[in-house]
Structure 1
Amino acid sequence: VEGPMGRNIRDIALLLDEQAGYHPQAPLSHAKEGSFLDGLQTKASGGRVAWLGDLDGHLPTEPGVLDLCEAALARFAGASFESEALVPDVDFE
């Protein structure tokens, strides 16, 4: 996994609050207003989700993982999200 990991979305929001913002030893940092927790009060609806899956067999996964992920992806439809399976047009070899 690349990027933050947490037990739930609230944990990720708390982590991002700590990682973002101003620090005197980071000259390119800046103060941010608000919190990543603020957006959790509103139910998400409408949007698009791209799904890479196993990259058409080029990304090995444990048995059952893809089925579990695809079942979770189907839940986005209940929140008015569109999902699209994508396979980048690249040479994997």
Structure 2
Amino acid sequence: MSGIEEAQRQLLQKIHTEGVLAAYEAALSVCRDPKAPAPARATASATLFRVAGYFDRKGEGDRDKEPHEMTPEELSRAVRHAQRQLQTAPTAEDGIFD
């Protein structure tokens, strides 16, 4: 591993630990600050909800079925969907610094 690759690895490690924690604390601080402008509080709140996954959740009636609950047609559709996702998924060779 070259010196550049090691520096990049260390930087990413800090971003994934210290950076994420600092971003969380900053967003939470804005949410809790009654003097913060309303748009800033709304943006910080939305960010926290989004990261927590609340915006991606479906209603209980819309939840994805477990495979054992699916009909053969639904299973086939789910398999085709998974295959499409695998074909377009980034590979290990698709590094962020390439």
Same fold (TM over 0.5): no
Q: Whose Rg is larger? A: 2
> Which of the pair has the greater relative contact order for Cα pairs under 8 Å at 6+ separation?
1
Q: Whose helix proportion is higher, 1 or 2?
A: 2
TM-score band w.r.t. shorter chain: under 0.3
Q: Whose strand proportion is higher, 1 or 2?
A: 1
